[in-house]
A and B are shown apart, each in its own frame.
Chain A
Amino acid sequence: MKILLFLSLAVITISSCKKPTEVTNKVDSFEVLQKEVLSDLATNVNTASYIGLASKSDDLYNVVLAFNLNPSEQGLTEAKNIWKETRAIWEQSEGFLYGPVSSNNIDPQIDTWPVDYNALENVLNSSNTFSESEINALDDALKGFHPIEYLLFGQNGNKIYTDFTQRERDYLIALALNVKNLTNDLASSWDASISSNFVNHFKNPSTSNPIYSTNNLVYLEIVNALIGICDEVANGKIQEPFIAQNPLLEESPFAFNSITDFKNNMVSVQNVYLGRYNADGKGLEDLVRTYNLSLDNSIKAKISNAISSLDNINTSFGDAIINSPIQVQNAIDAINELKNELETGLLPFVQTYIK
């Protein structure tokens, strides 16, 4: 009996000796993982998206130039398609609207909404020459994606190539050039080879880092941005026109592109969570499943659910808010459920495990 007691004591002693080492190893490797995720996110998601956006904006500018030289319905369709592709990358970057995109005021310059119709018509009817400096001097509501959308698709979304005046084409070229320049600036602002760039603060939290003194702060930034975009899509972009039953409040009405925009915003959340855009690296999922597999599964399920709830809306958003209210409400609910999981699951996870 005494031997048994001794043995069990010995077992307890041994196992209690072993555990701390394991725990320490896990903590150490978790800290390494935190840095890897930041580095991978910066490179594979944030920077890669901005490089993709800049490159697609170059394409948009070139296709608009070509359309001007040789106006044709095919050329216009191509321009419309490239606009949608450019827009897709931008919307997929709205899950991380922190850093230079906001502090350098790039977001309002390329994505201000609503379009100022009166002023836009006044610009077209003026003798404005659409030089770079004149475009720069225009208000934000007269440049960026939505005025380009308005010019390409027309107020009712049914513009054909013969509808274009030379002034419209000139304005379009100047706006495309402006977006191209701004998105290229944005991509350079995440260029890690420039040591003073934000991305290097983002990847290397330290006490001497002026923006992020700890890993915890960077991860809070990342997670809060995800929560922010879910909130904006569910409770702003979708809910406001829906409650008002007013298609005029829709964000991307000329190209009937709003649902795609919303979906790409949710894809943005997914990209950050999985750590993949074109290349697949480490993402938030790798951190979460280290300690909480069920949270990881739940977040992934809710992201998929949010995306599929938008896929279930089979008509344009302006039409859906009137004629498919159940599908619209389901989308609002699914995105709010994701938001709630990020707030009550992911955020506390970051607070608990990432110092």
Chain B
Amino acid sequence: MRLLILFGILTLLITIGCKKAAVIEEVDEKDWYAGGSQTFFDQSGGAFANTFVGLTPTQEQIHSVGDKFFEASFVSSPSPINPGLGPLFNAVSCVSCHPSDGRNSAPAEGDNLHNLLLRISVSGESVHGGPLAIPNFGLQFQPRAIFGLTSEGNVNVNYSYIQGNFDDGEAYELRQPTFSILNSYMSFPSDAMVSPRLSRPVFGLGLLEAIPDWALLANQDLFDSNGDGISGKANSVWNVKDQKMSIGRFGWKAGSPTLLQQVGFAFSEDIGITNFLFPLENSYGQSQSVNSEKELSDSLIYSVTFYLKTLGVPAKRNISDSEVIRGKQIFTEASCVKCHTPKQKTAVNVAFKSISNQTIYPYTDLLLHDMGGGLADNRTEYLADGSEWRTPPLWGIGLTEVVNGHSNFLHDGRARNLTEAILWHGGEAANAKIYFRKLNASDRAALIKFLKSL
């Protein structure tokens, strides 16, 4: 009898035990911990600005030095503080395009472009297969110059509007920007390829960088052998530091192989601060070219890179909300997940355990996809052709309005909300968009609510 009771209790315990485990797994499936161990339960305006936990005091110090220079305003040389600005530039600081470590809003109609930049090139390829610089303009258009010098010109933006309807008849409107270069200091070639780029949030980048190459390559489907209309291609770009070709990860077209190179390029092209990776002023070869020594020390470029590498990821919210669960289901059914891959794993890294062996939920495959003519910039960047873009991570996207006070999305900020962003999808994502347009209003709302939970 006693044995029977004991057996009964044991069975009960085991049943309870099993059930609990199942619940835990369910929560895990719901990817609450977007950034693995570096997830922050912060939905405030500072949600993109959380420093990794578990850093050593030295690492914290490097992070805070990087933070300081990320926020610092640079001024023209010589100056006792933050010298080196320009002579040509787009912005005076990192933070002016990444407020609160987030993204800028799109420029307003008629604005002289300060918060968005244009990458430019002519047809052909550089030595390493990258974009070919425009003589006298380079690879990026700088509409600003230090006082007394002439900038490369002005950029004007105008919007046209496109009307459309969901299948249930509800109307929507999309806006399409046109960028024009005015008053250029020299004649700007009419056949130039111009790609507008708005800033992106800068958290979680250390984790994205830690996803192994093989994991990205494994998701490629270059010839669409599974016939789902979605291919996916890793970019292959010149790695300036290692002097070899590497897989591209960062930037709207995955044109940078490493965070370090992305930072170095931004300092050089955006602010006019030369560094060991990009030692020539962005005005090099132009009539107003100024030769200057390396303006950013190696330790500072590494500190700023480390700062970005160690910004944690905001946790998902409202994961048990029934509408969010429904939206997640739709996100899968509409095949959004085929490019916005929810889950990734970072490589083991014994030297830096904060980013080592983490399961993260960035909602990206970091691969290039054809997004159709509507979004095409018609500018090639290594393997990315004129209509291909890197799948941008979606983590934290639901906090954009809280952190940055706007909801402008896509490479040029044309989408004024998430619905418009989806409606701009084309090419490999055309079917997903058609699926979205067919949904009834409550399912569309559920999908948006799911995105806002990220």
Contact = CB atoms under 8 A, between A and B. Distances in A.
Interface of A: 98-100, 102-105, 108, 112-119, 122-123, 126, 137-142, 198, 210-212, 217, 220-221, 224, 228, 235-236, 240, 246, 248-249
Contacts of A248: 80-81
A146 to B, nearest CB: 10
A141 B89 CA distance: 14
Interface stretch (B92-100, B262-270, B352-360, B378-386): B92-100
Contacts of A108: 73, 96
Contact of B148 (A113, A126, A211, A236): A126
Interface in B64-86: 64, 68, 73, 75-82, 85
B441 interface: no
Most chain B CB inside 10 Å of its own CB: which residue of A119, A122, A210: A119
A103 B112 contact: no
Contact of A118 (B45, B77, B96): B77
Contacts of B81: 114, 248-249
B44 A116 contact: no
B401 A122 contact: no
B402 A139 contact: no
B73 A112 contact: yes
Contacts of A228: 46
A44 B401 CA distance: 26
Contacts of A118: 75-79, 146
A100 B405 CA distance: 8
A224 B147 contact: no
A116 B96 contact: no
B79 A235 contact: no
A113 B73 contact: yes
Contacts of B85: 116
Nearest to B96: A108
B77 to A, nearest CB: 7
Given A126-B147, A224-B46, A249-B81, A119 B76 contact: yes
A138 to B, nearest CB: 7
B45 A221 contact: yes
Contact of A141 (B44, B92, B99): B92
Given A103-B404, A220-B44, A139 B144 contact: yes
Interface in B380-439: 401-402, 404-406
A117 to B, nearest CB: 6
B43 interface: yes
A117 B92 contact: no
B108 to A, nearest CB: 12
Contact of B75 (A114, A220, A235): A114
Nearest to B318: A213
A221 B82 CA distance: 30
A119 B146 contact: yes
A235 B406 contact: no
